[in-house]
Structure 1
Amino acid sequence: MRRSKIAAGITVAFAMGTTLVGFAPAEPDSLTASEALAAVNHVAPEVLEQTIGSPNGTGESDAMRAEVGGTDISLPVTASGGIEVSTGSHELTIGLPYSDQARPAAEVHTPGVVVYDNRNGSSTVPAIQSDGSIRISTVLADPGAPKRYDYPMDLGPGERLRANPDHSIDLVASDGTTLGHFDAPWAKDADGNPVPTWYEVKGDTLTQMVDFSTEAVFPIVADPTYKTYVITYSRADVEQMWKMINNINNICHFVPLPYLGSIACSAPAALSSAVSQAHYQSKRVRATYWDCGYNYCSYYTYAVVS
C-alpha cells in the first residue's frame, strides 16, 4: 500500500515545530494530526503561510474563533457543529464531511487551523486565512479513503448554490446577490500531480469528488476554499473606521478583499464616503464584492444601511 511518500521525512521535520493539543491516538490507516498538517504543508504551503495570525480564542463549542474584517468565523470542537460564518447581516454554517464519525478537533499551534480525523483514511483540515476566506483541506491517507466529500449547507430562505462555467460555486441570495463563493476545486498527490476532482451540487449540499487512481502517490490533498462576498460592518466597526479614516493603511483590516496581498491597500473614496455618511446617520455599512474573475478588475461597492 502506497500510504505516504512524505511520512518519513516531511512529517518529522514539520512536527518538530508543531505541538498538538487534545490529540488522541489515530485509528489504523489514518494519518495523525501532524502527518495531515505536514501533507497540506507539502502540497500547498500557502494554506498554512496565509493563516490568521491571532485567533480570538475558543468557546464551549468552538475549537477556534476569529474575527477578520467584519467576518466572524468559528471552527467547532466536534465536526458535527459545522463551520459557522457570520458577516453581520448573514449567517452560514458549512457542514463537514463524515462529521458523524470524526474525532473531535485536534488543535495545532498553527494559528487558525484544526484537524479532524474522519476515521476512514481521510482528515479534514480547515484553515482560517488572513483575508477572511476559509480553506478546508481534505487529506486522503491512502487508496482506502473515500472519493466523495459532502459539505451540507444551512442556507437561508431563498438562498441556493449556483454552479459557474469555471467550475466554481456561488452562494446566491433570493434577489440574485452573490453572498459567497467557493473557488474551483483542486486536488494534488504527494508528488504535486493533479488528481481529477469536481464539484456536484444537490439541493443545499456541495460535494467534492476526488477521483484518484492506483497511480496516485499518497497522501492526496484536496481543497475547497470559501470566500464571503457581502459583509455588513457593525456600528462599532463603522465608528472604529471613522476614527482611523485619516490613517488609510489601517483600513485594510476592515476590507478583506480576496486579493489584498497583491495590491497596495488604501481606503477607497467610496468606502470613506460611506463610513462618513454612516457615522453621521448612526447606520452601518454593507460591502459587496464583485468578482470579474481577475484581480485587476474585481472591486467592492459600499452602501449605507440601517
Structure 2
Amino acid sequence: MTEPKSVRRGAAMATTVALCVAALSATPTVAQAGEPDVVTAPVVAEALAGVDGSLIAAPSDDSGVGATELGGGTVEVPARPDSGVTLAAPDGSELTIGLPAADEAENASTLADGTIVYPAEDVSNAIIVSDIGVQMLSTIVDSAAPTSFEYDLSLEPDQSLKLIDGGAVVTDADGTVAVVVADAWAVDAKGDPVPTRYEVAGSTLIQHVDHTSETVAYPVVADPFWLAPWVVRCLIGIGLNGPQIARIASAGSPGALAAAFGYGALRCVLGR
C-alpha cells in the first residue's frame, strides 16, 4: 500500500533537517564568552530536529523565501523579517502577520527542507509554510531571552482577535471565524512541556513562554500555527464551526485531518 503523502513528507522533513544539521555542524553556532549568543540556522535546525515530529509541520514542496501557492491562496515569506508574513486569499483579501522582535533579527536563511530562519540574539524566528497554513516557531536558547512574543495582525476595521480554548480566532463583524490559531505549545530540549499561553491586546497575539525555571533545558521551542484563511472559509462551507476548525488546526497534518473530519475537510485543506 502506498503511504499517504503527509506521511512521506513527515519522514522527508525529519531526514532533511537531520542532514542540514550534519552539514552545518562544523560551523560555530555559539558565540565566544563576552559576545552575544546569536541563534543561527544550524542551532534552529538542531532544535527543531529534537522536537516531537507531531508538533512540527511538514513544509510544502515549494516552501521557502518568496511566494508559495497554497490551496488557491499565496503565502509570501519575506527575506527581511520586518516585512511580516502575508497570506493572500484568492478573493484578494490579505492578512499580514508581524514577527516578534523583527527589527533585531538578521535576514532570512533557508534550511534544506524549506524552513526559513531569521537569526537573532537569544531567540530566533523560523517559518514553515505547510499544506494547511503557516507555522511560526521561536527557538529560545537561554534564560536571558524574552518570555513574551508579539504577533501584530493587519486586521480589517470590522474584525476582532479573541482567545478560544487554548488557541485564538479572528472573527468578522457578524461573528464568522476568518482566521484560526492552533493551541499554544512550548517544549524544552528534554521534550518536556513548558508553560505557555496566549494573550490578546487589540490586534496583537502575544505568546507567553515561562521558560526561566531551573528545570527547563534549553533550547526551548514554541509556536503559533496559523490555519490559512481561505482554508477556514472552505471548512465553514462544509459545515464545520469555529471550535471544530480550531481542533483541525491543532491536528497539524492533512492525514490527521482526514482521519478526524473525513475527506471533505482534507479536500478543503489541499484546495482540491
Indicate the TM-score class for this superposition, using the shorter chain for normalisation. 0.7 to 0.9
2:10 match: none
1:28 matches 2:36: yes
Percentage of pairs with the same residue? 29
State the distance in 1 between where 2:175 and 2:119 align.
Answer: 37
1:219 match: 219
Gaps of 5+ in 1: 1-10, 58-62, 234-255, 266-293
TM-fit CA distance, 1:40: 1.2
Quick check: 2:196–2:207 contact (8 Å CA) kept in 1? yes
Partner SS, residue 262 of structure 1: helix
1:95 matches 2:98: yes
Partner SS, residue 72 of structure 1: strand
TM-fit CA distance, 1:94: 0.3
- Give the 5 Å matches for 1:114-133: 114-119=116-121, 121-129=122-130, 131-133=131-133
Q: Which has the larger radius of gyration?
A: 1
Quick check: 2:55–2:252 contact (8 Å CA) kept in 1? no
Letter in 2 for 1:154: S
- Give the 5 Å matches for 1:1-306: 14-17=20-23, 28-46=36-54, 50-55=58-63, 63-89=65-91, 90-111=93-114, 113-119=115-121, 121-129=122-130, 131-164=131-164, 166-212=165-211, 213-230=213-230, 260-262=254-256, 295=261, 299=265
State the distance in 2 between where 1:169 and 1:152 align.
Answer: 13
**24-33 vs 187-196, greater mean Cα deviation:** 24-33
Quick check: 2:54–2:252 contact (8 Å CA) kept in 1? no
TM-score normalised per structure 1 = 0.66
Letter in 2 for 1:109: A
Hey, which bits of structure 1, 4+ residues long, moved more than 6 A?
24-27
Quick check: 2:132–2:231 contact (8 Å CA) kept in 1? no
Quick check: 2:30–2:37 contact (8 Å CA) kept in 1? no
TM-fit CA distance, 1:174: 1.7
1:165-214 Cα deviation digits (max 9, x unpaired):
x2210011122211110011000000001100000100000000001112
State the distance in 1 between where 2:123 and 2:24 align.
Answer: 20
TM-score normalised per structure 2 = 0.74
1:269 match: none
State the distance in 1 between where 2:232 and 2:163 align.
Answer: 25
1:119-166 Cα deviation digits (max 9, x unpaired):
2x000011011x2311111000111111010001111121111211x2
Cα 1:299–1:135, aligned 2, differ >3 Å: closer, same or farther?
Answer: same
Quick check: 2:185–2:193 contact (8 Å CA) kept in 1? yes
Quick check: 1:160–1:204 contact (8 Å CA) kept in 2? yes
Cα 1:201–1:297, aligned 2, differ >3 Å: closer, same or farther?
Answer: farther
TM-fit CA distance, 1:118: 2.8
TM-fit CA distance, 1:30: 2.3
Letter in 2 for 1:204: S
State the distance in 2 between where 1:54 and 1:18 align.
Answer: 22
Letter in 2 for 1:193: D
Gaps of 5+ in 2: 1-16, 234-248
- C-alpha RMSD of matched pairs (Å): 3.3
